[in-house]
Chains A and B, each alone.
Chain A
């Protein structure tokens, strides 16, 4: 197998493992300092004008997450290198996974809300790339998009919430916000709702949970790392991070308890129903996330201790179990409960890892899972609704015991049910290191919970509740108390459910199968969205030029005329005393030409009328001291008439009947736009004119640009780039026209020479 591992190369295969291991070592070295209550931090100015900094701070909560991310990351990367040995796109995979790990570290270490948001989105994007890694599969792409949309949408709500927090607290610095608290602020309700949407989409709380089981389309190491141990805990992290600012109110208590509890129970029922090992684990992850949210809802030392302990223990055993399932899948070719069996002999190390991890998951002494579960039960007694919390935890934990049995006992200890797709043999060492180490940690830390208490749990609890809080003590034997009794009941009921798993699965299949599927609802929602887009595009963009033009002109007329009427900005009656007869003739010529062009049915007459108008405009420029403009206008008008004349040779009559039809509605709209234009111009003329720019050009034209024609100087000197752009437009028009004409040969017939303008 060593040769197979070598196939991914040193850079793609081993460099990511080294990076993750180095980061882990770094965070371990920070642990004593953080445990002593300090929080090493670095910070750079990012957008100082908005009070946004780019900084990292390593406090207890951040360090706990960072250790889990980098530690499990190193093991998962080591595992992937063997799991996807020789995969043609492994380098891409390793890049995505490493990027994800760094983004996730940034998320938990960020000291500033905006930086946190950026890293949050980076984890969403890398997660999208990883879920869709098997991109040849349409289902995989669809599930990746679903995860992206759901978590991305939640992130938008969260961003809105962050901005509200920033405005309410006057800073984006998380520590400063937490020091002040937001519970008394009038925006607290809105902020809480937005934060919950963000956290619940990321951490897949009911009813926004449906994307997570689908995300299992990703390769198994990704599921183990992102969708179990780290990324989905981002939402939980957010709630824990803002716990000091948001917790303690009725709204916080009830929303977290109810959503977390509902998720935990619903997910454990779903987990029991699955026949695919990976899907079963996916739902137990949901259950864990629900439990974490539920525990965060309470604000007692016990609940927060249980939160931190369960966070750690779940990451350890769930990553181990996912990796075990990956081993089984890799070596046998299937993950189906009904097929797998008899793997104890060919895969003893995998079986050992599975057994240890499952014992921790079931909460059996002396594993760390047992301690976490005991404290959770103990915290229920102190909560605001002991019966509700305890019953929720009990129901979820009973099913956890049963699912642990399904995952760890079935494939290994039961007899084989028939031939497997591949003859099983033990996985390579790189794939065993992760699950064995993680499972062994569950046992070792259960026997010696001291380091967990000192370095992981206590800093989290003190950070969330303040320095006066009293974390519960992690210990295996706390005497005979309510928690121990509940544990016993849990174990007994769990074993009973496991023994009756076939009947339980069928009953759940019937009960849950009758529920409406949110996943199908999602597809319906997406189809509806696309259908709506098609519908509104057809309305807005119907393909009729007249409708587009009419819409634009109606808007112009209404916007100009309407706002003038509303604001009473109508111009005063114009003073026409300075009108000379010559000018009246000139303007009358232009007007007559345009009216004739508008209403004639003859092409030649229209062309001539356009010419009259154009020449009239040129004469206006001459009369009013713009000789350069007039010359240009004359040239352009001549060219226009020539071009139109050439084109007319090949074009039909203007009207099929030979006579133009009067269009009264169009005329009314045209009159409205025309009158609006005149009114605006009259109003403009009655305002004073600011001539400072003109004065600058007049003063600077000769001394600075050595030109006596001020208009020319403006064009070729002061606004030379503008003129360059103008030339570019003409060149583009000429090139495009040439391209269009080249394909019109049978009609044009005379080759490109005749078309040049």
Chain B
């Protein structure tokens, strides 16, 4: 059973990597979700799988019965799930914000900080500053509008 789970984790990882290599950042985020799951399963599997024996101490006892599941990886995975979720939520909203500002989900087109060398060479003078400056004032106004709306 553990061996089969190892094979499944490999499949999960492969799908995640394939998604993370896509140009569309939404696919990248799907890949992020899958690779988080794969990583959690790796930790869980590393502590070995035990069916039907959760690590609990019965009342009246001071120690769990022998042969309960390994508690340590469970605690680590619990932490990892929550942190993975935090990362996912932030990445999703970052992507969302990037789409709102740049109007694209294609990571190849998101070149605000590091413009493409060919573009930089051709129209360094006007194209890039326009690209770089246009969205920001618009969103600043938007922020003001939104803030006043919220105040109302």
Contacts and interface: CB of A to CB of B under 8 A. Distances in A.
Given A743-B139, A744-B97, A594 B74 contact: no
A744 B139 contact: yes
Given A623-B51, A640-B33, A654-B26, A594 B64 contact: no
Interface residues of B, number: 105
A746 B142 contact: yes
Contacts of A647: 92-93, 95-96
B21 A744 contact: no
Kindly name the residue among B37, B38, B145, B149 whose own CB sees the greatest number of chain A CB atoms within 10 A: B37
B21 A663 contact: yes
Contact of B41 (A583, A617, A644): A617
A730 B86 CA distance: 5
Contacts of B21: 546, 549-550, 553, 663, 666, 669-670
B72 A675 contact: no
Kindly name the residue among A553, A681, A702, A734 whose own CB sees the greatest number of chain B CB atoms within 10 A: A681
A726 B79 contact: yes
A597 B30 contact: yes
B55 A737 contact: no
Nearest to A550: B21
User: SS class of chain A's interface: helix, strand, loop or mixed?
Assistant: helix
Interface in A258-279: none
Given A629-B78, A681-B6, A620 B41 contact: yes
B57 A701 contact: yes
B14 A673 contact: yes
Contact of B18 (A590, A591, A666, A703): A666
A92 to B, nearest CB: 38
Nearest to B14: A674
A542 B5 contact: no
A719 interface: yes
A729 B83 contact: yes
Interface string B80-92: 0111111111101
A757 B90 CA distance: 11
A251 interface: no
Interface in B17-53: 17-30, 33-34, 37-38, 40-42, 44-53
Interface string A731-748: 011101100111111111
Interface string A632-670: 110010011001100100111011000000010011011
A714 B52 CA distance: 20
Interface stretch (A163-171, A506-514, A691-699): A691-699
Contacts of A734: 86, 89
A673 B54 CA distance: 32
B37 to A, nearest CB: 5
Nearest to B139: A743
A677 B9 contact: yes
Interface of B: 1-30, 33-34, 37-38, 40-42, 44-59, 61-64, 68-72, 74-75, 77-79, 81-90, 92-97, 99-101, 105, 107-108, 110-111, 113-117, 139-140, 142-143, 145-147, 149-150
15 contacts: A543-B116, A545-B107, A545-B110, A579-B4, A595-B11, A610-B34, A629-B74, A654-B24, A671-B14, A677-B14, A681-B10, A682-B3, A726-B82, A733-B87, A745-B143
Please list the 6 inter-chain residue pairs (A to B) with the smallest Cβ-Cβ separation, ordered nearest first: A543-B114, A674-B14, A745-B146, A678-B10, A574-B3, A625-B69
Given A670-B16, A698-B64, 18 more contacts: A538-B117, A545-B107, A598-B30, A613-B37, A617-B37, A624-B44, A624-B69, A640-B85, A651-B96, A669-B21, A673-B14, A677-B9, A677-B42, A681-B6, A684-B46, A708-B59, A709-B55, A745-B143
